[in-house]
Structure 1
Amino acid sequence: MRVGVLALQGAFREHLLMLGSLGADTLKVTKSEHLAGLDALILPGGESTAMVRIAAGTDLFATLRERMADGLPVFGTCAGLILLADRLSDDSLGGYDRLGGLDVTVARNAYGRQRESFTTPLTVRGLDEPVEGTFIRAPQILELGPGTEVLSRHDNVPVRVRQGSVWGASFHPELGTDGRIHAEFLHQLGAAA
């Protein structure tokens, strides 16, 4: 199982380390050629504005959209969720190309500023024990499309969702040592994690 991590900016190193600790073969993805041969891709947290600006003028997002249309599993965390959301509550990334593909409406930075970041236990469907969710200037999922499934909630608000092979999380599952969210993603791909 070869899993790429978009490495334009943000917490890509932490995702690579987490995936590696679970036995996945990993690759830093910085250009469209890197998407060939991948079994899945993670879009990390970071600055969504920086990511779309770095990708602008390249064919990376266009190629990734094609791979997603062909069924490539993708998991976006924090800023990655913003890139995958079909709709934003404001036009703060207007004019920049995003990926889309996840039928949700998202509000950027809805959980507050950097100093208001927090970590909290999250109940995860299918797991006996909570996982720690770290929210850093996190987006909030405001609306779900009819085919979007909620996998985790915080204060009754969806914070991790899935629509087919496209997953999104408001929080950073890669920060810390608990690999169960990544293991679940790999398991759904058919990998032994």
Structure 2
Amino acid sequence: MAVGVLAFQGSFNEHIAALRRIGVKGVEIRKPEQLGDIAALIIPGGESTTMAKLAEYHNMFPALREFVKMGKPVWGTCAGLIFLANKVFGQKTDGQELVGGLDCTVHRNFFGSQIQSFEAEISVPHVADKEGGPPGFRGVFIRAPAILEVGSEVEILAEVPVPDKLKTSEVIKESQKVYPESLNKVIVAVKQGNLLGTAFHPELTADNRWHLYFIKMVNDQIEETETATSSGIIKAGDIYGLQDPKIELPIYLP
């Protein structure tokens, strides 16, 4: 089966290219009825308010919520993480509509504006155990959110220290009043059942391990609901493993 990528705005092409690199078909999703033809969905990074307005215009939110409730795997990156969160901190009253399902509180634009975007080496032991390769991952944070709090059923996959230059910002001071830990470090990747969320952009690197990790979530979900394991399962085996743990290919921005 194919994996859908919500394709209203943002880095959906980059996700489809990353899926192609590991031998998985990616499909652009813009209409509710298309969700019936895919095994899983990626909600990409982009401008979350614009994405939400377009999704609302196309009446996607009811279908997206139902897709999550059905137990289908969904991965939100950056703006997609905001979509999946049950609660968004710092949002204006009657702010953007959410899909929900992921028991966490996300602060949108926690790391600042577009010009404060950055890259950081992230420790990802759980993903490295599953997919091999180095214990670190090169995270690309573009006007990125951060996860301030998670529920008891949410597994934390990665955290990062807050850069010193941001600790004096009003955004972080505001969140620190409610979430004191957010001054020093924040969560940037989580998993809860069929849902995966990352505050950074794995699709903008040549390291395929997060996409492989998600495809294995898809495999697990299919195996739970189907007895046949030959024709309907996406294979994400050793042939997709990293050839060289030192990835030095350039990162590009959309």
CA 29–186 in structure 1, closer or farther in 2 if over 3 Å, else same: same
Secondary structure at the aligned position of 1:138 is classed as coil
What residue in structure 1 maps to residue 156 of structure 2?
A: 150
What residue in structure 2 maps to residue 111 of structure 1?
A: 111
Give me the identity figure in percent: 44
What does the per-residue CA deviation read over 1:133-173, in whole Å, with 9 as the maximum and x for residues that have no partner? 00001001001011111011212421100111011111001
CA 108–93 in structure 1, closer or farther in 2 if over 3 Å, else same: farther
Could you state the TM-score of these two structures normalised by the residue count of structure 1?
A: 0.95
Could you state the TM-score of these two structures normalised by the residue count of structure 2?
A: 0.73
What residue in structure 1 maps to residue 138 of structure 2?
A: 132
CA RMSD of aligned residues (A): 1.4
Hey, which of these two has a bigger chunk of helix by percent?
2
- Structure 2, unpaired ranges of 5+: 162-184, 220-233, 237-254
Structure with larger Rg: 2
Q: How does 1:38-187 map to 2 (within 5 A)?
A: 38-92=38-92, 94-126=94-126, 127=128, 128-129=133-134, 130-155=136-161, 156-187=185-216
Q: 2:59 and 2:113 mapped to 1: Cα distance?
A: 32
Determine if contact 1:49/1:93 at 8 Å carries over to the other structure.
no
Determine if contact 2:16/2:25 at 8 Å carries over to the other structure.
no
What residue in structure 1 maps to residue 247 of structure 2?
A: none
Hey, which of these two has a bigger chunk of strand by percent?
1
Question: Would you say how many aligned residue pairs link Structure 1 and Structure 2?
Answer: 193
Secondary structure at the aligned position of 2:203 is classed as coil
What residue in structure 1 maps to residue 7 of structure 2?
A: 7
Q: 2:91 and 2:202 mapped to 1: Cα distance?
A: 27
Moved more, 152-161 or 48-57: 152-161
Determine if contact 2:91/2:108 at 8 Å carries over to the other structure.
no
Q: 2:216 and 2:73 mapped to 1: Cα distance?
A: 12
Q: CA deviation at 1:95?
A: 4.8
Q: CA deviation at 1:90?
A: 2.1
Determine if contact 2:73/2:217 at 8 Å carries over to the other structure.
no
What does the per-residue CA deviation read over 1:108-128, in whole Å, with 9 as the maximum and x for residues that have no partner? 100111111111111112315
Q: CA deviation at 1:93?
A: 7.0
- Structure 1, unpaired ranges of 5+: none
